[in-house]
A and B are shown apart, each in its own frame.
Chain A
Amino acid sequence: MPFLPFVPLWREVMERTHQYALSGYLIALADDELILGHRDSEWTGHAPILEEDIAFANLALDEIGHAKLWYELAADLLGEDKTIYPDKLVYFRDAAQFRNIQLAELPKGDWAFSTLRQYLFDAFEALRLEALSQSSYTPLAEIATRIRTEELYHLRHSQAWVLRLVLGTEESGRRMQAALDALWPYARALAAPLPGEADLHAAGIVPSSAALFEHWSSEAIAFLQSANLSIPSSFIPHPSSLVDSRRVHSEYFPALIQDLQAVARLDPEAQW
């Protein structure tokens, strides 16, 4: 008698509502990675030194690669074909359907802005991935563990550059302070819950963003202060409702999405 095919148990165990909620959660997580990777990739060929062309292209590769992994897992949960579904999500959703935070989508700015944004993001992601690697949902925990090793390199790279730039020259220090002042309000959205988070958190599948944010802000503030940056006096909630912060985009976002989807939408029937 032939062996029975392996049936992934989680599919049976996880409740349908959780499956659906988790797919939405993962798509939002992937959107953050995709959009940050998109902005990172804009440095390719334009970085201050050749070594950073390489490094930023690598960051972009990793972020977009991670987005792909999360989209694929979402496809699995929804019973969609994971070779097709990620591209459908990326190329055929409208801007308003993306769930990334604005921090990821802001234009790349100067090198100080991109480097500091990367640090703020990397530091938060390190904590989120650590938590996700403990998820009760094994496929999620496995991917988080895999991604985490790469993200730790990102964090090391962005931390090293933050120090270099803050402590380098008067100009670089001034630019970094300006970058922090501009980014800090947007960083508040890291605390915003991802879609479906409350139920998933209660089921031990994902961490609470608010709790991660507490941890992150004390770590980030300590690091940035140790580098002589002054922390802006308070987070300005932006936009007004934190809960909506993944539904509201900046004025820069439609152009980003138009650029991202320009070729794919020339011929939606084509295999690109």
Chain B
Amino acid sequence: MYGADVEQIAIQLNEDPQKLADFEARIARGEKIEPGDWMPAEYRRQLIRMISQHAHSEVVGMLPEGAWITRAPSLRRKLILLAKVQDEAGHGQYLYHAAETLGATREEMLDALLDGKAKYSSIFNYHTTSWADNGAIGWLVDGAAILNQTMLARCSYGPYSRAMVRICMEENFHRKQGQEMIILYSQGTPIQRAMVQDAITRWWWPTLMMFGPHDADSPNSGVLIRWGIKTRTNDELRQEFINQLVPDLQACGIVLPDPNLHYDEASGNWRTGPIDWDEFWSVLKGNGPANAERMAARRLAHADGAWVREAAAAYAAKNQQQVN
């Protein structure tokens, strides 16, 4: 048996109501959905969209920090940053594989990215203008990503959930190295303190936007929450982040760029002023400060690498012929 609301959704989505009810019952029991299992086409579509966006974010996310590897100011920082950006490539690879379990191919996903059809996290469309930005990205951006990913580690789709468990462990190191850098520099020389203040001032609002629009304006949230892909809303996650970060950043003597920021005794939450959603939508539509550069860098690497991929394929084919 299934409820009237399952029947309605089954009609809407053109799915078999019994299968849909069984599927939802599995999710309700906390079971993971695995690649060969029956799933609604919309579940598959939403997951491919989310996982590939996530993979693209890792790949494009290599660029803003990667640009600083050669300039890292100590051997220790250089090795940490290299390892971090390498992790991001690894996460991208891992996530593309997770999306492949749903029937998408890496080529299709990459084409969608390079054609500008697929999205990636809007945060990577901002410039990294000083070395301290790497600290801000670690502490703020990776910190925000971890909240989202910790939630996704509990999601109903097995491969995505398991990828997230592993990725979260590594992201925690990323966050810690950023936090350590910001704390150290905030107690450092005047040049370092100014660098840190400037970095946090620029990354604060874009990081808050990373959690996505307010719940009321988030078109995909309903079905994602119903099927256990998301278990918390954008606003809940954003509030948790703000509550974590505000006291820590203030303890470093950093001034946050928000005159309306205040502590709300009644709810126990830090409240920010209004987020500039026009900026968010504009960056998402491709008009952020670095959208064009990020896409140009990806397209150039892809075009420059075409002969290498062709050669590798030709070589593999020749070897295969010899084996046969």
A111/B191 in contact, CB under 8 A? no
State the CA gap A178–B102 with chains docked (Å): 43
Residue pair A54, B74 in contact (C-beta under 8 Å): no
Residues of B within 8 A of A41 (CB): 69-70, 78, 82
Is A259 located at the chain interface by the 8 A CB criterion? yes
A175 partner residues in chain B, CB cutoff 8 A = 307
Task: Given A45-B63, A57-B86, A87-B75, answer yes or no on A165-B311 (Cβ-Cβ < 8 Å).
Answer: yes
B59 within 8 A of A: yes
Q: A41-B82, A64-B79 are in contact. Are A163 and B74 (CB under 8 A)?
A: no
Closest residue of B by beta carbon distance from A256: B70
Q: Is the CB of B70 within 8 A of A48?
A: no
Stretch with Cβ within 8 A of A (4 or more), from B37-45, B87-95, B255-263:
B87-95
Interface residues in A, total, Cβ within 8 A: 49
Judge whether B72 is part of the interface by a CB distance below 8 angstroms.
yes
CA–CA, A165 and B310, complex, Å: 9
Name the residue on A nearest B65 (C-beta): A45
What mask results when residues 311 to 324 of chain B are scored 1 for a CB within 8 Å of chain A, else 0? Answer: 11111001000000
Cβ–Cβ contact B189 & A64, under 8 A: no
Interface residues of B in 51-100 (CB under 8 A from A): 59, 62-63, 66, 68-75, 77-79, 82-83, 85-86, 89-90, 92-93, 96
Chain A residues closer than 8 Å to B189, beta-carbon distance: 267, 269-270
- Complex CA distance for A171 and B314, rounded to whole angstroms: 11
Tell me if A134 is interfacial: C-beta within 8 Å of chain B.
no
B266 within 8 A of A: no
Question: Contacts A50-B59, A263-B131: A42 and B191 contacting too (C-beta < 8 A)?
Answer: no
B253 at the interface (CB under 8 A from A): no
Tell me if A169 is interfacial: C-beta within 8 Å of chain B.
yes
Q: Are A44 and B305 in contact (CB under 8 A)?
A: no
Closest Cβ of chain A to B315, distance in Å, is: 4
Distance in angstroms from B92 CB to nearest chain A CB is 6
CB distance from B177 to the nearest CB of A (A): 13
Contact B90 A61 (CB under 8 A): no
Chain B hits for A259, CB < 8 A: 70-71
Question: In chain B, what residue has the closest Cβ to A270?
Answer: B189
Q: Which residues of A contact B131 (CB under 8 A)?
A: 263, 266
Smallest beta-carbon distance A230→chain B, Å: 18
Checking A38, A163, A264 against B315 with a beta-carbon cut-off of 8 angstroms, the contacting residue is: A163
Contact: A167 with B315, CB < 8 Å?
yes
- Chief secondary structure at chain A's binding surface: helix
Q: Is the CB of B310 within 8 A of A171?
A: yes
Task: For A164, give the chain B residue with the smallest CB separation.
Answer: B315
Near B by CB (< 8 A), chain A positions 110-151 give 110-111
Which chain A residue lies CB-closest to B195?
Answer: A266
Report the separation of the CA atoms of residues A169 and B311 in the bound assembly, to the nearest whole angstrom: 5
Query: Of residues 217 to 239 in A, which have CB atoms within 8 Å of B's CB atoms?
Result: none
Expressed in whole angstroms, the Cα–Cα distance for A67 and B76 within the complex equals 12
Known contacts A168-B315, A272-B73; A47 and B305 CB within 8 A of each other: yes
What string of 1s and 0s marks CB contacts (under 8 Å) between A157-172 and chain B?
0000001110111011
In the assembled complex, the Cα of A110 lies from the Cα of B66 at a distance in Å of: 18
A168 touches B312 (CB 8 A): yes
- Residue A60 at the chain B interface, CB threshold 8 Å: yes
A15 at the interface (CB under 8 A from B): no
Q: Chain A nearest CB: distance from B94 CB in Å?
A: 10
Q: A260-B70, A263-B72 are in contact. Are A54 and B311 (CB under 8 A)?
A: no
B309 neighbours in A (Cβ, 8 Å): 48-49
Given A172-B307, A175-B307, A263-B131; A270-B192 close (CB under 8 Å): yes
A68 within 8 A of B: yes
Question: Is B223 part of the contact surface with A, judged by Cβ < 8 Å?
Answer: no
Query: At the interface, yes or no: B11 with Cβ under 8 Å from chain A?
Result: no
B289 near A: Cβ within 8 Å? no
Beyond known contacts A64-B79, A65-B79: 5 more, CB 8 A cutoff: A44-B66, A71-B75, A167-B315, A260-B70, A269-B189
Interface positions of B (Cβ within 8 A of A):
59, 62-63, 66, 68-75, 77-79, 82-83, 85-86, 89-90, 92-93, 96, 131, 184, 188-189, 191-192, 297, 300-301, 304-315, 318
What are 23 A-B pairs with beta-carbon distances under 8 A?
A: A38-B70, A42-B69, A42-B70, A45-B62, A45-B66, A45-B301, A46-B297, A47-B301, A48-B305, A53-B62, A57-B82, A61-B83, A71-B75, A91-B73, A110-B304, A165-B308, A168-B311, A169-B307, A171-B310, A171-B311, A172-B308, A260-B70, A270-B192
